[in-house]
Structures are given as C-alpha cells and as structure tokens.
A and B are shown apart, each in its own frame.
Chain A
Amino acid sequence: MQWNFKIISAICVAFAALTGCNDSIDEDIAPRQLVVEGYIDSDGYPSVFLTYSVTANDYDRPMSDNLVRWGKVTISDGDTSIILTGAPNNNSFPPYHYRTFEMVGTPGKHYSIKAEFHNDVATASAEMLNPVAINSVDFEPIADSDSLCATFVNFTAPSDTPAYFVVFTRSITANTPFQPCMLGALEITIPSDKCRLQVYKAKSDFSPSDEDFVPHFKRGEDIQVKLSRVTKEIYDFWLAFSNESTFGNSQFINTSANLPSNVTGGFGIWSVQASSSIAATVK
C-alpha cells in the first residue's frame, strides 16, 4: 500500500512538472531594425515612411515608440541627391512621412535611397521602367448587394514580357492615400495581351475593430486606380506582401515565409514604380 502511494505520488509530481514545462513560445531576441516603406512614381514625388521593427518579446509598447521622426532620408537619381523633409501625415499610418517636391520620377533612371537614424542605415535602389497605360476602368454589380460593385481595370500588356505590376487604389471620396490593393501583384507573360484585372480595396489592419473588411467599393464612390510597373524584385515583395496580408491569419494555410526585400540594413521596400492612373466614379 505504501509502495503504491509512493509510485502514485511520484507520477503526480512528474505530471505536474511536465505540465508546467513550457507554456510560451521560444523567442530569440531580434534587434530592432529600420523599416523603409518608400515610393517614387513616374511623374510623381517620392514619399517615404520610416519606422522601427519591434522585437516579438517586447511588443507591448506604444506604436509612437516605433516612429522615426528625426531620421535622415536621402534619395538620389544618379545625378542629384535630395534630403527629404519630415512632415506629419494624417491620411494613413504611420502618421509621419518624409517627402520632397524637388525630384520627380523619370522612367529609365535608377533611384536609390539611404535612410539613417542614430547608427542604423538602410539603403536600396531600383530602376524605374516605362509605364503601361490603363485603357479603362469598368464596374459590375455584385450579386446580392445593392451598394457594392466589382471594379475592373483594362490594359494592354507591353511587348517586352514578362512584365510585373502592382495595382494601387484609393478612395477620392474618403481622401485615402494609394495603397496596394488585395491580390494586386501580377505577372504578365504574354506580350501585348489584353488584360482585364479585377481590383479590390486595400486591406488595412488599422480599420476599426468593429468594422469588417469589404473588398469592394461602394456605388457612387469616386476612386482612383494606379497601375504601377515594377521590377521583378519589387514585384516579389508585393506578391509576398499580398499573400501575407490576405492569408496570413488563416489556420488552413501555412504562411511563415519572410517577405523578400530590396532594402539592405533593414526591412521593407523601396518601390520605384512606373505608374499610370485613372479616376472614375463607381457605378
């Protein structure tokens, strides 16, 4: 009887010890890194968001801690270098960006960026290709919905394929900035192909928590669609971004690959893009 009691006690202690073994994920400490989210469009001005990444085991801190307000961002087109000026940005997150009106994107040029803060330096460079014009935008009603419409953009593929595109949309009515739309990265392999792409709204993790994501625009809304031709490296980033933002929280699909980046010394993207855009009213 005493023997049984000892055995049972030992088993209970062993179980209790195992149960308390490991109740949290292993987390290596990763150093904070600069995150560059920079855009320059053909015939457009550069705009750069500069933030810091957050170490996963130190995530519970205000987002304002991750903003870089006093960084130095330099852009060069090979001939000229411009230091961008920091300014508040009330239209999207992060609420602060670096910009200049002294440099305009020109197809055929290489653009490089250098972002500095304290001892951290992130650099990137990319070529601006020739833009492809949008032929038209059209809409189709969504079944079972009186107010939503599907949006389609039509364009002709260039003769030099493969060509890589990222589609951005913005709501003029809501005064939102251009953001890469869901499933908006595409590769065209057939030269001069007549392409018709359905475009969706961009998905934002900053939407109010009680607001469900609706990927379609509302009837009567003024929108702008931008078709940006990019290099393969930039396309690979936006394709992976699209996968992560669309399916990243699905339990059915494993998404643990890191986003590729053209930024050295940090995360993010220097998106040099040859763009054409079109405005329309959803109907």
Chain B
Amino acid sequence: MKTKLLHSVITTLRLPELIVPAVLTVFPVATLATEGDTLTHHTSLKEIVVSGASQSGTRIKADGTITLNNSRIGDMMQLFGEADAVRYLKMMPGVTTSSDYASGISIDGAEFSHTTYRIGDAPVFFPYHFGGVFSTFNNRHFSSTTLDRTCGKGKGPNMIGASIDFITPTDTDSSAHASLNVGIVNSGMSISIPVNRKLWLSASARLSYLNLLYGNLLEDNETKTRYDFHDVNITANYIASDADRLTINLFRNADRLKYTNDDYAMTTAMNWHNNLASLQWLHKSSHIEWKQNAYVSNFGSSLSLEMLDFIFSTPSIVTRIGSSGYLTSGNRFKWNAGYEVGYTHTSPQNVDYSGYINHSLREKNNFNSVDYTISAQCEIKPTEKLSVTPWCKFSGITSHSYSKVFVCPGTSITLKTGKNVVTSAIYKSLQTIHEAGFSDIGMASNFRITSTRQIKPQTAFTASIDYMRFLSVGHRHDFKLTAHAYYRKLDNAHEYSGNLISVLKDDYNVTDNIISGNGYSAGGNVMLSKERGRISGHISYAYGITRLKFSSSSQGYRPSANDLGHAVTAYARYEINRRFNVSAAWSFTSGRRTTPIKSIYIISENVIMQHGERNSARLPDYHHLDIAANYHFTSQGRLKLRHTIAVSVFNAYGRDNVEMQSFVIDSDTGRYHMKQNKSIYKYMPSISYAVEF
C-alpha cells in the first residue's frame, strides 16, 4: 500500500524515471527495517538523494529552468552531422535568434551579451562557430546543459540575462567509452577513460573541413567564403576522498573565416578563439556542500579588411581570471553563502592598418577591472506546498578611477497545488562586462569592454512568473503545460555608435563611440510538451517586446535589435522502433529588427540610402523546417559497438531567409534594384556516421 502511494506521489511530481525504481527498491527495505521484529537497530533516514540520468531529452522545472540531457540531444536532432545543445535550446519558447548568421541567442528579448555560457563555472565569452548554426560546445563531451533564466539566483554570476551551463560527466563508475563521428562538415571524436580508480580523463575534439565539400555552395559569381574551425575539450575528474572531488576543465576553439567580394576587390577575414581552464573542488558531506572554483578564460577576435594593399585589422581581447566558492547546507531550511572575485582585462579594437595615411602607433586601449561579490541565499519551506527563496548579492567593481558597490536582492516563491506549480521571482541583477561593435547580430568581431566611469555597469530589475501543470491523458501525465511571463527594466544599456572609417582616425576613442540608455522588455510564452513515449515533442508560442532609449538620441523608446515579436516552435520526434527514429523541427519568428531604408539617392555615382528610425522595421519573417532521421545498430566483436547513421536536411522547404536588404543600381538598365542577401543555409543536407562503445 505504502509502495503504491509513494509511486503515485513520484509520478505526480514527475521525477525522472530512473529515480522511481531506485526509490521503490529502497522503500520496502526501509519498511522491513521498521516493521521487522528481528531488527533491533533503528535508523532514521532524513533524506535520500538518488540521482540518475533522465530518459527524457528535455526537462523543464517549475521555475522555468531547462535541463537538456546531452546524450539524448544527438538522438533528437542533428544538423550538419552535429547535435548541438545551444541549437536545441533555440527551440525552447522565448529563446530566439531570427537569423541564420546571428551568433548568440536572445532569451526573453535580452541582448545576446546578457546571456553567459559556462564550463565548470567559467565563462566562455563567444561560444559560436560561424553563423550560429552550432556552438563551440561539443555535445559528446557534456552530460547535460542547463538554462537558468535567473542566472543562478543568488549563486550565479553577475549577468543581466540567463546562464547556460555545460556540465561534464562526474560518473566515474562506468567503464571506458569512446565515440567517433564522421560528418561532411566536420568530424570529431570523444574518449573517456579511467586512469585508475580515482582519476578519470575525458577528451573530445572536432575538426572541420567545410571548404572541401561545401566549398562550391559557399561561393557565387561575386563572392567566395572559406571557413574552418577546431575545438578541443579535456576534462579530468579526480576523487580525492569519499567527500572530495577535483575537476579540471580545459577548452579551446579557433575559427577562421575569409569572405571575398570581387565586386569591391575586398576580402573580409574574421578570426576568433576561446581558451579556458578551470579547476573545481567539490566537498560533499552529509551536512554541507562546498564548491570552490578557479578559472581563467580568454577570448580574442580580429576583423580584417584587405583591399589589395589597404589592410585594416581590429583585434580585441578579453581575459578574465576569477574564483568563486559556495557553501550549501541545511535540510528543511537550506542556505548557501558564497563569493566571487574576478579580474577582467579587456583590450577592444586595437586598430592597425596600412595602405592609408602614415600614422603613429597608437597606445593600446586597455580597460581592466576588479569585481567582487558576496552572496547569501536561503530556502524556507513554511509548508510542504510553499517554498520561499530570498537572496542578496553585494557586488563591487573597481576600474581605473571608477569604483562602485551594488546591492542586488531577490526573492523566488514557489507554490505547489495538486498538478499545478507556480513560481514567481523578483530580483535585481548586475553586469559589468559589455559587448559592442560593428555587428547587430553578435558576430565575433564585436568586442568586450569592462565597466568604466563612462560605460557604467548595466543593472536590471526583473519580475517573472512561471506556471506548470501536468495534463492527464487517461491515467498518464504525458503532457506538460508551461507558461512564463516576464518584465525587465534595464538601466545603462550600451550600444556602439561608431563606424569603421572613424576607427581609422588618430584620435579615435572607443568609449566615445558607446552610447548608453535605458530600456525595458516584457513578454511571455506558453509551451505544451510531451517528453516520453514513442511520439514526443513540443509546441510553443512566445511574444515579447524590448525597447531602448538612448540619451544621445531624440528618438525616445525604440525597439531593440532583439525585439522578439512572435515566435512559434514545433518539434516532433517519432521513434519507429528501437533502431530508427525521425524528427522534425519547425521554427518561426517575426523578422529580425532592422533600420528601414526610406529613400535612395545618388551622390558621386554612389547609391546612398537614407534610413528611418533605428530598428523601426523588420526583415521578412524568419522560418525554416529541419528534418532528421537516425538509424542505430550494434555490432558484436571484441567490443560491442553502437553505430548511428544520421541524415538531416536544414531548411527543408528552402525558405529564403533574408539577412540583409539594400539597394543597388543596375548599371545596365539605369534603375534601382532591391538587393536581398539571403542565408546560404537552404536545403542543406548532411549525413554523418558515429560509432561508440
């Protein structure tokens, strides 16, 4: 009877399936211990924590936190032979890009730079390979990915938006395993081996050869694109004792892009890299959990333009060295306290050029800062149904002659009633590293700059509410309905106002070209999902607005480049049998915000466009359908090998998604002609083969 009761409670609470048999195994033993007359020693268990991997690919918690099971993502959707967690997150409601070339994701209408990506609690500043098609995070290297819209509440880093954490496996009990993936864009391998009973090493690497097979697709009569990348992940887990574990994460990626336009005799080159090293120590005993972390993370990029002997390059660097620690304890009254301290060096737009006027070497633009945070958070459960989590962060930043302290409090309240869970949060957040540059779509050429007296830290006040309800079909809770609404007020939003020519001026100062203002975003989304069964998937709708107002402009509040508008995603996966599954994903968003061209005229035989108010129009709607099929089979030999053949088509109905719109003159007819630069990602097929043991 008790077993049945517990089973129904667990099913209602939708705990991962693996927990159910584990708890069901433990519970009868506990029952026997208390009821058996041969046992004289009574043990009272205050808490049993049973962990296991969810069989579901995606798990959404009541507070809107999304957890992806990375091992299942590959089985759900692969593009260009790569399963990508960030790409999969774009199918979640309120998570959008509206562009194939955008490098970044906007969550709830926030700027791309408001989201932080982390490996081992260390930030990865630019986690994209070109075009945002897939991220620098090798899916095979990570066990799970979490998206937290509150950026970790009191325990997270100082960011305005969300945090996306890539979690490396910590299960050192399983045997060695490896996988090899061969695709037509890139290939990769991943290996995980126990060195001894205490030390476990994992390494993953990917190398692209896009130019070889897709080279012809990347060029036309006027333009030619060449691109390659590699990324490497290494993780070492060392079990120092039953309670202590050390984890080292190393990561590097490097990308090289070259784009030649014969019409202008111009070659644009963009190179970027991330380097990261982090060391984590986790002490976990029955009473406390202490997590200590130290890291260094570096991102460098360079945009170069070459027009025969005119060569211009603008390299930028950001390096952060930091340490954080969190102590967690308590049962019914759970609390944690922590700190984070970091030194950030930014060196934006260190311009060098030749083939123009003689110029003296400029001093490097270096902006350094030290920031520190002390935080405390507790979780109070006045009743079984209600939990309240207040937190407070005291943060300070010192940068050159600028120094300021911020207090960022917050509270989250969760109420569970039957099948319904409601979570509301209200908090203030802070961000001290900013992104700006020539690109509205977050390309690698954008630079990072730390806060100064002129470029003040961004702060935001956020209020959000999340609702989750399990929907029953027959006796099973197969469907889940989630809804999320938010409002965010933003202070000290920054935007770049310079242009490339002005950078060549001797007296160019990057801070003079960053404008500041205020803004707000508001919106909501709803999603119906089915996470288990032969047919799984979700459908979601989101709507949001983001407005910004800059003191240097007379325009008043105007849409941000990441103003969401409408967004719909639909994803379905059908498991035909244990070997074969097919999936399809359709996403639609209102066209990306753009500054409209209102008039055209000619000056000195050049077409000049007169623009309207910034971001006051939209490009055509962005949508595409991606389809994929996976076939698994195993082979027996000295090793039992699992093989997967993945076939996919990106943008299967060939939608011409417009990335840019302008006007040119047709010199043959003497008429203006609207030129639309369309995404090259159209009917993009890919096939890959993976083998693992």
A and B part of one assembly: yes
Tell me if B's interface is mostly helix, strand, loop or mixed: strand
Chain B residues lying within 8 Å of A146, measured Cβ to Cβ, are none
| B599 interface residue per 8 A CB criterion | yes
Give the residue among A14, A24, A267 with the most B Cβ atoms within 10 A: A24
Q: Which of B235-243, B326-334, B606-614 binds A?
A: B606-614
Q: Quick check: A56 and B663 within 8 Å, CB to CB?
A: yes
Q: Name A267's contact: one of B261, B357, B358, B601 (CB within 8 Å).
A: B601
Chain A residues lying within 8 Å of B604, measured Cβ to Cβ, are 37, 179-180, 202, 241, 245
Chain A residues lying within 8 Å of B263, measured Cβ to Cβ, are 212-213
Count contacts on B: residues with CB < 8 A to the other chain.
86
Q: Quick check: A63 and B502 within 8 Å, CB to CB?
A: no
| B500 interface residue per 8 A CB criterion | yes
Interface residues of A (CB under 8 A from B): 11, 14-15, 18-19, 21-28, 30, 32-33, 35, 37, 51-56, 59-64, 66, 92-94, 142-143, 148, 150, 179-180, 182-183, 185-187, 189, 195-198, 200, 202-209, 212-216, 239-259, 267-269
Q: Quick check: B265 and A198 within 8 Å, CB to CB?
A: no
Chain B residues lying within 8 Å of A28, measured Cβ to Cβ, are 596, 598, 612, 616
CB distance from A80 to the nearest CB of B (A): 27
| B595 interface residue per 8 A CB criterion | yes
Q: Name A216's contact: one of B308, B597, B618 (CB within 8 Å).
A: B308
**With A25-B596, A212-B263 already in contact, 13 other A-B pairs whose C-beta atoms are closer than 8 Å:** A11-B570, A18-B588, A22-B621, A56-B596, A56-B663, A61-B671, A142-B308, A197-B357, A197-B358, A205-B606, A216-B308, A243-B500, A247-B500
Report the bound CA distance from A207 to B607 in whole Å.
Answer: 12
Q: Quick check: A251 and B677 within 8 Å, CB to CB?
A: yes
Q: Name A248's contact: one of B265, B507, B609, B620 (CB within 8 Å).
A: B609
Report the bound CA distance from A282 to B101 in whole Å.
Answer: 43
Tell me if A's interface is mostly helix, strand, loop or mixed: loop
Report the bound CA distance from A242 to B310 in whole Å.
Answer: 14
Q: Quick check: A241 and B608 within 8 Å, CB to CB?
A: yes
CB distance from A250 to the nearest CB of B (A): 7
Q: Quick check: B539 and A11 within 8 Å, CB to CB?
A: yes
Q: Quick check: B614 and A256 within 8 Å, CB to CB?
A: yes
Chain A residues lying within 8 Å of B262, measured Cβ to Cβ, are 212
Q: Quick check: B608 and A244 within 8 Å, CB to CB?
A: yes
Chain A residues lying within 8 Å of B506, measured Cβ to Cβ, are 187, 189
Q: Which of B47-55, B417-425, B439-447, B631-639 binds A?
A: B439-447
- A-contact bits for B214-234, CB 8 A (1 contact / 0 none): 000000000000000000000
Q: Quick check: B606 and A239 within 8 Å, CB to CB?
A: no
| B259 interface residue per 8 A CB criterion | yes
Q: Quick check: B672 and A142 within 8 Å, CB to CB?
A: no
CB distance from A26 to the nearest CB of B (A): 4
Chain B, 274-310, CB within 8 A of any chain A CB: 303, 305, 307-310
Q: Quick check: B623 and A19 within 8 Å, CB to CB?
A: yes
Report the bound CA distance from A150 to B597 in whole Å.
Answer: 36
Q: Name A213's contact: one of B265, B670, B674 (CB within 8 Å).
A: B265
Report the bound CA distance from A197 to B504 in whole Å.
Answer: 13
Q: Name B611's contact: one of A63, A66, A258 (CB within 8 Å).
A: A258
CB distance from B474 to the nearest CB of A (A): 13
CB distance from B463 to the nearest CB of A (A): 29
Interface residues of B (CB under 8 A from A): 101, 259, 261-266, 268, 270, 303, 305, 307-310, 355-358, 438-440, 443, 445, 497, 499-502, 504-507, 539, 566, 568, 570, 586, 588, 590-591, 594-612, 614, 616-621, 623, 659-668, 670-675, 677
Chain B residues lying within 8 Å of A19, measured Cβ to Cβ, are 588, 621, 623
Report the bound CA distance from A203 to B265 in whole Å.
Answer: 11
Q: Name B309's contact: one of A14, A150, A247, A255 (CB within 8 Å).
A: A150
Q: Quick check: B617 and A27 within 8 Å, CB to CB?
A: yes
Residue of B nearest to A176 (CB): B605
CB distance from B225 to the nearest CB of A (A): 10
CB distance from B441 to the nearest CB of A (A): 9
Q: Name B599's contact: one of A54, A64, A206, A247 (CB within 8 Å).
A: A54
Chain A residues lying within 8 Å of B595, measured Cβ to Cβ, are 256
Chain A residues lying within 8 Å of B597, measured Cβ to Cβ, are 27, 56
CB distance from B468 to the nearest CB of A (A): 21
Report the bound CA distance from A215 to B264 in whole Å.
Answer: 9
Report the bound CA distance from A152 to B1 in whole Å.
Answer: 94
CB distance from B456 to the nearest CB of A (A): 23
Q: Quick check: A198 and B667 within 8 Å, CB to CB?
A: no
- Contacts A197-B356, A244-B608; is A254 near B308 (CB within 8 Å)? no
Closest 7 CB pairs of A and B: A26-B617, A30-B598, A256-B595, A204-B605, A243-B501, A53-B601, A59-B672
Chain B residues lying within 8 Å of A213, measured Cβ to Cβ, are 263-265
Q: Quick check: B672 and A267 within 8 Å, CB to CB?
A: no
Q: Name A215's contact: one of B310, B507, B617 (CB within 8 Å).
A: B310
Q: Quick check: B566 and A33 within 8 Å, CB to CB?
A: no
Q: Quick check: A27 and B596 within 8 Å, CB to CB?
A: yes
Q: Quick check: B501 and A195 within 8 Å, CB to CB?
A: no
- Contacts A25-B620, A61-B671; is A51 near B601 (CB within 8 Å)? yes
Q: Quick check: B667 and A206 within 8 Å, CB to CB?
A: yes
Report the bound CA distance from A94 to B203 in whole Å.
Answer: 64
CB distance from A145 to the nearest CB of B (A): 8
Q: Quick check: A56 and B600 within 8 Å, CB to CB?
A: yes
Report the bound CA distance from A256 to B605 in whole Å.
Answer: 19
Chain B residues lying within 8 Å of A259, measured Cβ to Cβ, are 603, 608, 610
Chain B residues lying within 8 Å of A32, measured Cβ to Cβ, are 599
Q: Quick check: A55 and B668 within 8 Å, CB to CB?
A: no
Q: Name A25's contact: one of B261, B617, B667 (CB within 8 Å).
A: B617
Report the bound CA distance from A93 to B670 in whole Å.
Answer: 10
